[in-house]
Protein backbone atom coordinates (compact mmCIF):
# COMPACT_ATOMS: atom_id res chain seq x y z
CA UNK A 1 0.00 0.00 0.00
CA UNK A 2 1.46 3.35 -1.00
CA UNK A 3 1.24 6.48 1.11
CA UNK A 4 1.45 10.09 -0.12
CA UNK A 5 4.78 11.89 0.07
CA UNK A 6 4.09 14.82 2.43
CA UNK A 7 7.33 16.79 2.79
CA UNK A 8 5.78 20.04 4.04
CA UNK A 9 3.39 18.51 6.57
CA UNK A 10 6.14 16.20 7.79
CA UNK A 11 8.60 19.07 8.09
CA UNK A 12 6.02 21.14 10.00
CA UNK A 13 5.28 18.23 12.33
CA UNK A 14 8.99 17.69 12.84
CA UNK A 15 9.50 21.33 13.80
CA UNK A 16 6.66 21.01 16.35
CA UNK A 17 8.36 17.94 17.84
CA UNK A 18 11.69 19.76 17.97
CA UNK A 19 10.07 22.78 19.58
CA UNK A 20 8.49 20.59 22.26
CA UNK A 21 11.94 19.09 22.97
CA UNK A 22 13.54 22.54 23.23
CA UNK A 23 10.84 23.82 25.59
CA UNK A 24 11.13 20.73 27.80
CA UNK A 25 14.88 21.36 28.14
CA UNK A 26 14.20 25.03 28.89
CA UNK A 27 11.55 24.22 31.49
CA UNK A 28 12.83 21.20 33.39
CA UNK A 29 16.20 20.56 31.80
CA UNK A 30 15.21 17.15 30.50
CA UNK A 31 15.54 15.30 27.19
CA UNK A 32 12.29 14.63 25.34
CA UNK A 33 12.83 10.90 24.96
CA UNK A 34 9.49 9.14 24.94
CA UNK A 35 10.79 5.70 25.96
CA UNK A 36 12.48 7.27 29.00
CA UNK A 37 9.45 9.34 29.95
CA UNK A 38 6.99 6.46 29.51
CA UNK A 39 9.16 3.78 31.16
CA UNK A 40 9.67 5.97 34.25
CA UNK A 41 5.93 6.12 34.80
CA UNK A 42 6.44 2.54 35.96
CA UNK A 43 8.22 1.64 39.22
CA UNK A 44 10.90 1.72 40.55
CA UNK A 45 10.90 5.50 41.00
CA UNK A 46 14.18 7.38 41.21
CA UNK A 47 13.00 10.97 41.43
CA UNK A 48 9.94 13.15 41.98
CA UNK A 49 9.15 13.88 38.35
CA UNK A 50 6.20 11.48 38.07
CA UNK A 51 3.71 14.33 37.64
CA UNK A 52 5.72 15.86 34.83
CA UNK A 53 6.01 12.56 32.98
CA UNK A 54 2.32 11.76 33.48
CA UNK A 55 1.45 15.18 32.06
CA UNK A 56 3.64 14.70 29.01
CA UNK A 57 2.26 11.25 28.24
CA UNK A 58 -1.31 12.44 28.76
CA UNK A 59 -0.60 15.23 26.28
CA UNK A 60 0.66 12.69 23.74
CA UNK A 61 -2.45 10.56 24.21
CA UNK A 62 -4.84 13.51 23.89
CA UNK A 63 -3.10 15.06 20.85
CA UNK A 64 -5.30 13.40 18.17
CA UNK A 65 -8.39 14.82 19.90
CA UNK A 66 -6.86 18.32 19.83
CA UNK A 67 -6.01 17.81 16.16
CA UNK A 68 -9.60 16.78 15.41
CA UNK A 69 -11.01 19.72 17.37
CA UNK A 70 -8.77 22.26 15.62
CA UNK A 71 -8.77 20.94 12.05
CA UNK A 72 -12.03 19.01 11.89
CA UNK A 73 -10.13 16.12 10.28
CA UNK A 74 -9.97 12.60 11.64
CA UNK A 75 -6.44 11.24 11.91
CA UNK A 76 -5.88 8.81 9.03
CA UNK A 77 -4.25 5.60 10.16
CA UNK A 78 -3.68 2.03 9.06
CA UNK A 79 -2.60 -0.36 11.83
CA UNK A 80 -2.04 -4.07 11.36
CA UNK A 81 -4.95 -6.08 12.77
CA UNK A 82 -2.64 -9.02 13.52
CA UNK A 83 -2.79 -8.72 17.30
CA UNK A 84 -0.10 -11.34 17.93
CA UNK A 85 2.30 -9.51 15.60
CA UNK A 86 1.50 -6.16 17.22
CA UNK A 87 1.88 -7.59 20.72
CA UNK A 88 5.28 -9.06 19.89
CA UNK A 89 6.30 -5.81 18.17
CA UNK A 90 5.27 -3.81 21.25
CA UNK A 91 7.21 -6.05 23.60
CA UNK A 92 10.33 -5.81 21.44
CA UNK A 93 10.03 -2.03 21.01
CA UNK A 94 9.57 -1.49 24.74
CA UNK A 95 12.42 -3.76 25.77
CA UNK A 96 14.88 -2.60 23.12
CA UNK A 97 14.26 1.12 23.58
CA UNK A 98 14.81 1.02 27.33
CA UNK A 99 17.76 -1.37 27.05
CA UNK A 100 19.38 1.02 24.58
CA UNK A 101 18.51 4.13 26.62
CA UNK A 102 16.34 5.69 23.97
CA UNK A 103 14.19 5.46 20.88
CA UNK A 104 13.48 7.58 17.82
CA UNK A 105 12.97 10.71 19.92
CA UNK A 106 15.68 10.36 22.57
CA UNK A 107 18.42 9.22 20.20
CA UNK A 108 17.11 10.14 16.74
CA UNK A 109 16.04 13.68 17.56
CA UNK A 110 17.44 14.87 20.90
CA UNK A 111 20.67 12.86 20.80
CA UNK A 112 21.54 13.89 17.27
CA UNK A 113 20.74 17.50 18.20
CA UNK A 114 23.28 17.19 21.03
CA UNK A 115 25.79 15.71 18.56
CA UNK A 116 26.04 12.60 20.75
CA UNK A 117 28.09 9.90 19.05
CA UNK A 118 26.27 7.28 21.17
CA UNK A 119 22.95 8.47 19.80
CA UNK A 120 24.31 8.49 16.25
CA UNK A 121 25.39 4.86 16.65
CA UNK A 122 21.99 4.00 18.19
CA UNK A 123 20.06 5.77 15.42
CA UNK A 124 22.02 4.13 12.60
CA UNK A 125 21.57 0.76 14.31
CA UNK A 126 17.79 0.93 14.77
CA UNK A 127 17.31 2.36 11.27
CA UNK A 128 19.33 -0.53 9.84
CA UNK A 129 17.49 -3.30 11.70
CA UNK A 130 14.09 -1.68 11.01
CA UNK A 131 14.83 -1.42 7.27
CA UNK A 132 16.13 -5.01 7.27
CA UNK A 133 13.01 -6.24 9.09
CA UNK A 134 10.66 -4.56 6.60
CA UNK A 135 12.77 -5.90 3.72
CA UNK A 136 12.57 -9.47 5.03
CA UNK A 137 8.80 -9.27 5.54
CA UNK A 138 7.86 -7.48 2.32
CA UNK A 139 10.41 -8.75 -0.17
CA UNK A 140 11.68 -12.08 1.19
CA UNK A 141 8.33 -13.43 2.38
CA UNK A 142 9.53 -13.82 5.98
Partner 1 sequence: MNFLVNLGLGLLFGTGLVVAGMADPAKVLNFLDLFGTWDPSLAFVMGGAAVTAFVGYRLVLRRKAPLASPTFHLPTATAIDARILIGPAIFGVGWGLGGFCPGPALTAITLGAPGTLAFVPAMLAGMFAARLIGTGAYRPGKPSFAR
Q: Site residues for partner 1, window 3-62 (CB under 8 A)? A: 3-7, 9-40, 42, 44, 46-47, 49, 51-62
Instruction: Verify binding: residue 138, partner 1, rule CB under 8 A.
Output: yes
Instruction: Verify binding: residue 141, partner 1, rule CB under 8 A.
Output: no
Residue 140 beta carbon to partner 1: minimum distance, rounded to whole angstroms: 11
**Omega into 44 within 30° of 0, i.e. cis?**
yes
Instruction: Verify binding: residue 72, partner 1, rule CB under 8 A.
Output: no
Instruction: Verify binding: residue 140, partner 1, rule CB under 8 A.
Output: no
Binding mask 111-130 for partner 1 (x = CB under 8 A): xxxxxxxx--xxx-xxxxxx
| CA distance linking residue 114 with residue 50, whole number of Å | 25
Q: Are 105 and 32 in contact (CB under 8 A)?
A: yes
Instruction: Verify binding: residue 78, partner 1, rule CB under 8 A.
Output: yes
The values of phi and psi at residue 103, to 5°, are -125, -150
81: left (phi over 0), alpha (psi -120 to 50) or beta: alpha
Task: Spell 33-48 as b/e; 16+ CB within 10 A means b.
Answer: bbbbbbebeeeeeeee
Instruction: Verify binding: residue 2, partner 1, rule CB under 8 A.
Output: yes
Residue 50 beta carbon to partner 1: minimum distance, rounded to whole angstroms: 9
Amino acid sequence: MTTDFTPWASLAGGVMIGLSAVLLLAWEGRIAGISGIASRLLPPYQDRSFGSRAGFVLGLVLAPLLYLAVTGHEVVQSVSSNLLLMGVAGLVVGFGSVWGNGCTSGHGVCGLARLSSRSLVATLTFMATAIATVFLIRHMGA
